[in-house]
Structure 1
């Protein structure tokens, strides 16, 4: 799987649960896969396509949660 469509998010607890739900919703709507990985400074959210990654970044921004490219 491509590692180029990933974002690192620094969140924990309920925020992280919320983001997992949003990632699932975005990926399901686009009919693509997604996964998370541990990162040194947070959690890496990866998607099979770049459009889903962009939508997830917009979602993070609207929730006030910082994210950055991995």
Structure 2
């Protein structure tokens, strides 16, 4: 799976649950697939579409959760 449209976030517990729900909502609205994997540090959220990735980055910003390309 490609990592072109991925973001790494540093969140745990309820914040991570919140982000999973948001990723699911964004992907469903964009009609694309998404997945999570665990790099050495953080959690990588990946999307099939760059627009979905950008929407997720905006959601992270609105929740005050830092993210970076990954």
Under a length normalisation based on structure 1, what TM-score does the superposition of the two structures give? 0.97
In the TM superposition, residue 63 of structure 1 has moved relative to its aligned partner by: 0.3
Gaps of 5+ in 2: none
2:62 alignment partner in structure 1: 62
Q: CA RMSD in A?
A: 0.6
Kindly report which structure 2 residues correspond to 1:34-49, keeping only aligned pairs within 5 A, or say none: 34-49=34-49
Moved over 2 A (4+): none
Distance 2:20 2:9 in 1: 11
Under a length normalisation based on structure 2, what TM-score does the superposition of the two structures give? 0.97
1:51 alignment partner in structure 2: 51
Gaps of 5+ in 1: none
More strand by share: 1
